[in-house]
Structure 1
Amino acid sequence: MSGLSETQRAGCNKILNSMSKGDLLSLSDTVTNKLIVVENVAEARETILSFTKHAEELLKRKKVNRDLIFKYLAKEGVVMPPNSEKHQLVKRTLELWSSGKAVVDESIPGQTDETRQRPTTGTVSTEVKAEVGFDPLVLGQQFCQWFFQLLNSHNPSLGQPPQDWGPQHFWPDVKLRLVSRADNEQMEDFLGAELVSLRLIALTREEHLILSPNMQPHGLRTLASPHGLVLVAVAGTIHRHKACLGIFEQIFGLIRSPMENNSWKIKSVNLKIRGQDALGGTETVAPALSYNSTELQLLCS
């Protein structure tokens, strides 16, 4: 997940909210090296926040100009001399966020109470409780955000520090089925945390792919079984450098580990990749899931 605290994320989001659409889309291109295509301002904001390693980096971007920061501080009740330079405003904003006095309760579009309250660092693990009000969809959203950011951080072309990937995120007997279809269909099966972890990381580290999940309702579906298994199904696009290579659908089976603070670990992964040639000219922007609830239930049982 991004390196922003909840306070910094809310503050950055307010500043991004006051930017023009053109500047937002341009900033999204800059932050992702044009590797992720966004469809609208909401996606641009989310992408910028996800790819920002720390708050100072975002505040120092050219598109986040002096006036934007000055107005943000004024709205937060921080009065600065009108002739303050940008670096002074940046410093004051970071101080405000670290003091905890900034207002963070402004809703970020697409967030629910549960996602807003969670810390944005560490693994997805222990933040979602399975008591009353447990929402598998919230878990699915958090998990996908965490998983794909972690996986993509190992792609050398993004120039990000690689995050903590490894077999520790999987159950020892995890299964991976990888089906890829370009000219012909290939199927690979892997068993065990070490092998599954190595095969998945090879997608980004060696093959230089970027997996961009579609977190819209038609791209993400979750299902919880009475026995504690939660299925998270997500569709998305696959990129290499500036080219969109095709689409993917990925189904994760997640089960809590009582030995590790009840954190969620991956029990199964089913990944289908379809290259552009195999798509026959269908639209690849924000792909939808082809699995329905009945098919997911069969996988759950």
Structure 2
Amino acid sequence: MSGLSETERAGCTKLLQSLSKDDVFSLSDTVTNKLIVVENVTEAIGAIITFTENAEEFLKRKKVHRDLIFKYLANEGVVMPPNSEKNKLVKRTLELWSSGKVGTGSGLELVLGQQFCQWFFPLLNSQNPSLGQPPQDWGPKHFWPDAKLCLLSRAGSEQMEEFLGAELVSLRLLALTRDEQVLLSPNLEPQGLRTLASPHGLVLVAVAGTIHRDGACLGVFEQIFGLIRSPLENNSWKIKFVNLKIRGQDSLAGAETAAPTLTYNSTELQLLFS
């Protein structure tokens, strides 16, 4: 039914999530000729996406106003002159969608991902005595009380460990750097870092990188963090879950470890929102 590509569907959904509830319902009625009864905003957005023939038709609708498209583009890292007319913004959005370079979090979300990694990894690495630095303030306070850690390591054999609760998660990650004396070096270039935000406040930061000990590269890692703001603590971000996958040098079969890239795609990451 829908004539939209996957990239266009994702873009249209993002724009619709910025509209007021009334506007979404009204647009759903218009697009479906009131043939579909929707119960909530999620169903309304689904109906609009399904019955939209093409992206240009969607972007030109009255309810999808100029400022909305302008903000969307800014969020995707596309800077347009503030006085751009709507048809210029529509054209630029269609170009962006057809290029497929969307949802890599190139805008504000990527900045959040980078800032988080630039805070988290130096903090964790500072616990490693081989660095000869005073350890920074690590502890369970950076995690939600029901935080969860899944640690999958592949070095020869495969090992899976799970930890529940801020205290245990914090201690297991601490053991990596303090006791096992490893250093995690994230690749903060676009191919090594991806950030996705759900409309419900959960932000996923996925990052790839290399693992070192005493100057030697031991292998690569991929780590996904689920972050949620804590309204009680100045709206600071706290970690809800961590999935850490470590592959030792021997299981890489000579793969490039200089700048590891993420193997997760956006669809796989979005499954973590459910």
Q: Which amino acid aligns with 1:152?
A: N
Q: Using the TM superposition, give the Cα deviation of residue 239 of structure 1 relative to its aligned residue in structure 2, in angstroms.
A: 0.1
Report the RMSD for the aligned CA atoms in angstroms.
Answer: 1.1
Q: Which amino acid aligns with 2:244?
A: L
Partners of 1:135 and 1:175 in 2: CA distance = 26
Say whether 1:183 aligns with 2:156.
yes
- Aligned with 2:108 (options 131, 135, 141): 135
Partners of 1:232 and 1:258 in 2: CA distance = 20
TM-score w.r.t. length of structure 1 = 0.55
Secondary structure of the corresponding residue to residue 233 of structure 2: coil
Q: Using the TM superposition, give the Cα deviation of residue 183 of structure 1 relative to its aligned residue in structure 2, in angstroms.
A: 0.6
**2:249 aligns to what?**
276
Say whether 1:235 aligns with 2:208.
yes
Deviation string for 1:205-254 (max 9, x for gaps)? 00000000000000000000010000000000000011000000000000
Secondary structure of the corresponding residue to residue 201 of structure 2: coil
- Aligned with 1:172 (options 145, 152, 164): 145
Partners of 1:281 and 1:182 in 2: CA distance = 14
Partners of 1:175 and 1:136 in 2: CA distance = 23
Identity rate, percent: 80
Partners of 2:234 and 2:217 in 1: CA distance = 39
Pairing of 1:116-127 with structure 2 (within 5 A): none
**2:19 aligns to what?**
none
TM-score w.r.t. length of structure 2 = 0.61
**1:26 aligns to what?**
none
Pairing of 1:258-269 with structure 2 (within 5 A): 258-269=231-242
Deviation string for 1:81-108 (max 9, x for gaps)? xxxxxxxxxxxxxxxxxxxxxxxxxxxx
**1:295 aligns to what?**
268
Work out the number of aligned pairs and report it: 169
Q: Using the TM superposition, give the Cα deviation of residue 137 of structure 1 relative to its aligned residue in structure 2, in angstroms.
A: 1.0
Secondary structure of the corresponding residue to residue 208 of structure 1: coil
**1:156 aligns to what?**
129
**1:247 aligns to what?**
220
Pairing of 1:34-183 with structure 2 (within 5 A): 135-183=108-156
Say whether 1:257 aligns with 2:230.
yes
Provide structure 2 residue ranges, at least 5 long, that are not aligned to the other structure. 1-76, 78-106
Q: Max radius of gyration: which structure?
A: 2
Partners of 2:126 and 2:211 in 1: CA distance = 15
Partners of 2:228 and 2:109 in 1: CA distance = 12
Secondary structure of the corresponding residue to residue 227 of structure 2: strand
Secondary structure of the corresponding residue to residue 136 of structure 1: helix
Secondary structure of the corresponding residue to residue 237 of structure 1: strand
Q: Which runs of 4+ in 1 moved over 4 A?
A: none
Partners of 2:159 and 2:204 in 1: CA distance = 24
Q: Using the TM superposition, give the Cα deviation of residue 296 of structure 1 relative to its aligned residue in structure 2, in angstroms.
A: 0.4
Q: Using the TM superposition, give the Cα deviation of residue 169 of structure 1 relative to its aligned residue in structure 2, in angstroms.
A: 0.2
Partners of 1:275 and 1:255 in 2: CA distance = 31
Deviation string for 1:178-201 (max 9, x for gaps)? 000011100000000000000001
Deviation string for 1:141-168 (max 9, x for gaps)? 0000100000000111100110000000
Secondary structure of the corresponding residue to residue 285 of structure 1: coil
Deviation string for 1:245-298 (max 9, x for gaps)? 000000000000001110000000000000001111111011000000000000
Partners of 1:178 and 1:206 in 2: CA distance = 16
Deviation string for 1:16-57 (max 9, x for gaps)? xxxxxxxxxxxxxxxxxxxxxxxxxxxxxxxxxxxxxxxxxx
Secondary structure of the corresponding residue to residue 156 of structure 2: coil
